[in-house]
Structure 1
């Protein structure tokens, strides 16, 4: 990715409880994004939050620490992110998904 160029950010909002068989949905999405050759993917762990259920999850409260929020963030070209959407729909159907245009202000050196 080139500094100053537009890019697209895809964010998939999950919880630690979201699983595919015995695997974390977030980790499966990261693996599939890597296999698809996307520019970058990060899993962010939230310390507190709530979603559609209205249940607050908080790391600071042991009884509420289960199911903490996770966000899978993917950044790449619009075409690459759009091409990855069917995978997201397949693996995280029902998750909140956002897409937005971002601008790369600094591009790190890559080994690819």
Structure 2
């Protein structure tokens, strides 16, 4: 990554219960992004939220299967993220439940490699 390149953040907002095949959507996408060489991915699990269905989902201790909001976030060069999205768009479109995908420009201030 260089400061001369244009970077973006790709966000996919979905649910912890969404799956691609037998895997959770978030796991499938993070593993695929790693294979495709996307620089970074993070999954955030929310405690409450609602989407286009307007049904509010929240954490309740008595529920065995929690349907909670999840945000899957990727950061890389804009061109790479646009290509990655074009490769996963059909899978996202074919999911039975809704999701929201956004992309926004971002600036990398520091990327320090770990050990």
- TM-score range (shorter-chain normalised) is 0.7 to 0.9
CA distance, structure 1, for counterparts of residue 13 and residue 56 of structure 2: 15
Unaligned runs of 5+ in 1: none
Measure, in 2, the Cα distance between the counterparts of 1:90 and 1:82: 14
3-state SS in 2 of match to 1:92: helix
Superposed structure 1 runs of 4+ greater than 2 Å apart: 1-6, 60-63
Q: Say if 2:29 is the partner of 1:29.
A: yes
**For residues 9-43 of structure 1, what are the alpha-carbon distances to aligned partners after superposition, in whole Å with 9 as ceiling and x for unaligned?**
00001101111221101110001000000000111
The answer to whether the 8 Å contact 2:11/2:71 transfers is yes
Residue 5 (structure 1) shift? 5.5
Q: Answer whether contact 1:13 1:71 (CA < 8 A) is retained.
A: yes
> Corresponding residue for 1:10?
10
* TM-score of the two chains, using structure 2 as the length reference: 0.83
TM-score (normalised: structure 1): 0.85
Q: Is the 8 A contact 1:5 1:104 kept in 2?
A: no
Report what 1:105 is aligned to: 109
Q: Give the aligned length.
A: 110
* Inter-CA distance 61–50: structure 2 relative to 1 (3 Å threshold): farther
Q: Is the 8 A contact 1:4 1:106 kept in 2?
A: no
